[in-house]
Amino acid sequence: MALSTERNVGVAVDFSEGSQAALMWASDHLLRAGDKLVIIHSEVCFQKEQGAVHLWESTGSPFIPLNEFDDPGITKRYGVKPDSATINILHQLAKQKGIEVVVKIYWGDAGVKICEAGEKVPLQCLVIGSRGLGKVKRALLGSVSSYVVHHAMCPVTVVKSSPSN
């Protein structure tokens, strides 16, 4: 019996430069043909009356294939506003690496929901960007990446943005 080499590789994305750096790091150092790239996104604010949000609030959205995540109607339904740069990176990764890209959206505290995804999807590993907050801001605002490193059930890699970002 041959062992499957298919892996669920997670990248936490908030559509910032830091999460784009995490995507690029995962592409350069981790992803290989046959992997499933699971984009984990958490929305803190949402309107309770949105149907999809209310339906999937406790479990997160179903997997959304990348070609559907391109549709503004789909993203609006889930209350998400992805940037075109991140979408372009995802399409390039899917084509160049021969991987499947899906998006899973959660609503609530980002650190908690990213850890939840690591366990429930399940993910073999997770990559997350770091905003590079100073000590004072990190103490006041908290750090999602720090929370995930300490609470995730899978290996986590934190990627810092380059100093020019």
Question: 41 — alpha (psi -120 to 50), left (phi > 0) or beta?
Answer: beta
Nearest to 43 by CA among 12, 20, 74: 12
The reported pLDDT for the residue numbered 45 is 63
Nearest to 113 by CA among 10, 8, 26, 18: 10
The reported pLDDT for the residue numbered 57 is 72
- Tens-place pLDDT, residues 90-127: 999 999 999 999 999 999 899 999 999 999 999 999 99
Residue 141 has pLDDT above 90, yes or no: no
**What does the DSSP assignment read for 63-132?**
PEEHHHHT-HHHHHHTT----HHHHHHHHHHHHHHT-EEEEEEEES-HHHHHHHHHHHTT-SEEEEEE--
Residue 160: band (very low, low, confident or very high) from pLDDT cuts 50, 70, 90:
confident
The reported pLDDT for the residue numbered 138 is 47
- Tens-place pLDDT, residues 5-55: 679 999 999 998 999 999 999 999 999 999 999 999 998 765 554 555 666
Which domains are delineated in the chain?
A: 8-160 (3.40.50.620)
Residue 145 has pLDDT above 50, yes or no: yes
Euclidean distance between CA atoms 32 and 98, whole angstroms = 7
Residue type, 117: A
Give the pTM: 0.86
Mean pLDDT value of segment 71-94: 92
Distance of CA 113 to the CA centre of its chain: 10
Contact between 100 and 6 under an 8 Å Cβ cutoff? The reply is: no
Residue 88 has pLDDT above 50, yes or no: yes
The reported pLDDT for the residue numbered 91 is 96
The reported pLDDT for the residue numbered 165 is 44
Euclidean distance between CA atoms 5 and 120, whole angstroms = 19
